[in-house]
Structure 1
Amino acid sequence: MSSVDKNLSVFSTEALPDISQSTFAIVVAEWNEQVTEKLYEGAYQTLLAHGAAPERVLRGNVPGSFELTLGAQWFAERSDVDAVIALGAVIQGETKHNDYINHAVAQGLTHLGLKYGKPVIFGVLTPNTLEQALDRAGGKHGNKGDEAAMTAIKMLGLKNQVRV
């Protein structure tokens, strides 16, 4: 089945760790706000649904997706933050700006996860059109914000498993 006909936000919730004492930071790009707010809502609700305490879910806004890396770093530096979720949407335009932004953000977030030894999740949509972005932000293809939150939860579970 192609992704055109499929909800992409289907994932296993078996054996999830207890996240009631975990602190999550969600960094949200303000650019393409109609998309990123839906991603945020998906991530936030998924964390709560799986046991995160509302007061342990922190939010930081940055102007655009390019700034997600620095915003994520500031949260990753905090010893009380267990995982960082970066949410943005870079829509293909008439120039190749999206290629440069997406690559820089992906590399930057990967680097942060390795540097700080905690999950730093890439929740940035890279669609060709606004319609595709909305389809992946709570539309017919699910919500990538949900998936980013679930990824953070599962990575914390793996970290706990490895460190036992």
Structure 2
Amino acid sequence: MLVVVPTEFKPAEPNSKDRYAIVVAQWNQLVTDKLLDGAITTLLGAGISEGLINVARVPGSWELPLAAQQLARSGRYAAVICLGVVIRGETTHDEHINRGVSLALGQISLECELPLPLGLLTVNSLEQALARAGGDVGNKGSECAEAALHMVGLLKTMPEA
């Protein structure tokens, strides 16, 4: 019996000439600065030079999609990494922010055909946020940068539409 092995697309190695943007919310800056540090450290570790990493700071997570869309549409970036934190409060406000931002960023990614890794922490407390920003649960900013590098490389090896 003949065994057919499917073709698997594997990501290309990171290109040190690719430019990356990071949009980061200033609200909950104690946490978002740690996410930003994780993302930048990961990109630098992959050989992306500091001069090819641009950061846009927005007031809060709600503003992530507009800035990400502007950067994605510019055609200058291989990926736009989005970082923010929404901590649950006494109302359902957090649910509306999280859903709206997530859906908008997903749509922008598809429309622009560009990776927009979502590093939007949706947590119940500051302690949970800090655990995900370099604490015992890892650094979601770093994980988003890894996802960006992977997707940029993968898109380079896949056939174009």
Fold similarity call, TM over 0.5: yes
**Percent same amino acid among aligned pairs?**
45
* Off by >2 Å, runs of 4+ in structure 1: none
Change in CA separation of 1:34 and 1:135 when aligned onto 2, cut-off 3 Å: same
Shift of 1:18: 2.2
2:155 is matched with 159
Residue 127 of structure 1 is matched in structure 2 by 123
Which residue does 1:7 correspond to in 2? none
What is the alpha-carbon distance in structure 1 between the residues aligned to residue 116 and residue 143 of structure 2? 13
> In structure 2, how many angstroms separate the alpha carbons of the residues matched to 1:128 and 1:19?
38
Question: RMSD of the TM alignment (CA)?
Answer: 1.3
Match for residue 108 of structure 1 among 80, 104, 107: 104
Unpaired runs of 5+ residues, structure 1, are: 1-13
Pick one of 56, 60, 78 that aligns with 1:82.
Answer: 78
2:12–2:154 CA contact under 8 A, matched in 1: no
- CA separation in 1, counterparts of 2:64 and 2:15? 24
Say whether 1:93 aligns with 2:119. no
Query: Following the alignment from structure 1 to structure 2, what is the Cα–Cα distance between the partners of residues 26 and 66?
Result: 15
Report if the CA contact (8 A) 1:85-1:149 is conserved.
Answer: yes
Q: What is the SS of the residue equivalent to 2:87?
A: coil
Query: How many angstroms apart in 2 are the aligned matches of 1:44 and 1:76?
Result: 18
Alpha-carbon distance in structure 2 between the residues aligned to 1:15 and 1:87: 23
Partners of 2:35 and 2:118 in 1: how far apart?
A: 12
TM-score under structure 2 normalisation? 0.90
Distance 2:54 2:66 in 1: 16
For residue 100 of structure 1, what is the amino acid of its counterpart?
H
CA gap of 1:16–1:159, structure 2 versus 1, over 3 A, is closer
Match of 1:38 in 2: 34
2:48 to 33, 49, 52: 52
8 Å CA contact retained: 1:17, 1:156:
no
Q: What amino acid is aligned across from residue 51 of structure 1 in structure 2? A: G
Name the count of aligned residue pairs: 151
Q: Which stretches in structure 2 are left out of the alignment for 5+ residues? A: 1-9
1:21 positional shift: 1.0
